[in-house]
């Protein structure tokens, strides 16, 4: 995998040269949300930043996710939602985020959301300010971990009184499944196809 500025510029080109798959929200029971897929560099490597959601939030309690949240009426674009929510949840200012492009929309199984994901570079180290009402902690995962051929793994979760098996990326004590796992699969597939 390329490193440094070349990787970032090639990723930006890949995301800019494709039309992401969009899911229309009109005439559906889905709510809309946006997330940021935050990339940063540390010790010459690229990493992804995740949040472990607090147990007090309305949706996806205790799950590992990207920073983001529900589209508000004041948000003029889905990108604006991702930037606003990232600031509200972990304190990264809009001017410190370089949006590289957009990934395919995803839906959630349990909460009926359409998620609009955006990839962005953030500085590191950074004076994160965690909103403890929404975020329990931050989780940093090296990008190369997601290219491990043994990942994702089958993982059983409780859903509506049953145990179902779903793919999950499992890094140390972080279990990344559901829409976040599918966003990662989309992202890693794009990188694997164009940046080697």
Domain boundaries, the chain: 4-149+179-194
Which residues does residue 45 pair with via DSSP β-bridges, in sequence order? 42
CATH of domain 4-149+179-194: 3.90.79.10
List Cα–Cα distances, 67 to 11, 49, 195, in angstroms: 20, 9, 25
Model pLDDT for residues 105-141, shown as the tens digit of each residue? 999 877 889 999 999 999 999 999 999 999 999 999 9
Q: pLDDT digits over 155-184, tens only? A: 998 777 888 899 999 999 999 999 999 999
Q: How far is CA 107 from CA 48, 60, 123, 161, in A?
A: 21, 13, 29, 21
Supply the pTM of this predicted model: 0.93
Contact between residue 78 and residue 34 where contact means Cβ atoms under 8 Å apart = yes
């Amino acid at each position: 995998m390329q490193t440094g500025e070349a990787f970032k510029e090639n990723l930006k080109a890949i995301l800019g040269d494709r039309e992401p798959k969009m899911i229309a929200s009109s005439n559906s029971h889905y709510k809309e949300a946006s997330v940021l897929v935050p990339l940063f560099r540390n010790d010459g490597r690229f990493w992804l930043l995740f949040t472990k959601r607090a147990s007090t939030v309305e949706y996806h309690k205790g799950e590992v996710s990207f920073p983001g949240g529900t589209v508000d009426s004041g948000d003029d674009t889905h990108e604006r939602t991702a930037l606003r929510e990232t600031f509200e949840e972990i304190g990264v200012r809009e001017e410190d985020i370089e949006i590289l492009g957009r990934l395919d929309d995803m839906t959630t199984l349990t909460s009926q959301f359409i998620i609009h994901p955006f990839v962005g570079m953030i500085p590191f180290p950074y004076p994160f300010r965690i909103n403890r009402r929404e975020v329990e902690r931050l989780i940093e995962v090296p990008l190369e971990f997601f290219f491990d051929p043994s990942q994702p793994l089958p993982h059983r979760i409780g859903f509506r009184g049953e145990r179902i098996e779903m793919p999950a990326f499992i890094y140390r004590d972080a279990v990344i499944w559901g829409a976040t796992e599918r966003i990662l699969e989309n992202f890693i597939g794009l990188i694997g196809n164009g940046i080697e």
